[in-house]
Amino acid sequence: MRPATAWPTSLSASTRWGGIFDVEGLRRQLDHLDAQTSAAGFWDDPERAQKLVQERAGVEATVKRLDRLEKEAKDLDELLELASIEEDQSMISDVTSQIPSLEDGVRQAEI
């Protein structure tokens, strides 16, 4: 059970800053782009094909970045919870010092 201590920042940064990351929507878009790039005749129009390949690469990079940020947030949350249970102030300080870096990553993902 986590004590009623207010942490300096929140790990729910996306909601906190008003941003919404539709990762599932991006995954569906990626699936759709994969289907298009796998379709017969895809390379018949090289200019269109190149645009779709570039779009797919951008969507894939965004999904990977958001997955990484989500994993980092979960990891920090778990460490913070463990540190709170053990009342380990050193670990709490270490974890909270990593939150600004995560927040910066979230801010950049929102742009």
Contact (CB, 8 A) for 23 and 67: yes
Q: In angstroms, rounded to a whole number, what is the distance separating the alpha carbons of residues 69 and 102?
A: 7
Does the pTM of the predicted model rise above 0.85?
no
Structure tokens at 47: 């200019």
The secondary structure element, H or E, covering residue 108 is helix 89-110
Q: Give every CB contact of residue 19 below 8 A, 6+ residues apart in sequence.
A: 106, 109, 110
For residue 106, which of 71, 54, 59 has the smallest C-alpha distance?
71
Digit-coded pLDDT (tens) for 12-62: 444 444 456 788 999 999 999 999 999 999 999 999 999 999 999 999 999
Per-residue pLDDT of 69-101, as tens digits, reads 999 999 999 999 999 999 999 999 999 999 999
Q: In 60-77, which positions are buried (b, 16+ CB within 10 angstroms) versus exposed (e)? A: bebbeebeebeebbeebe
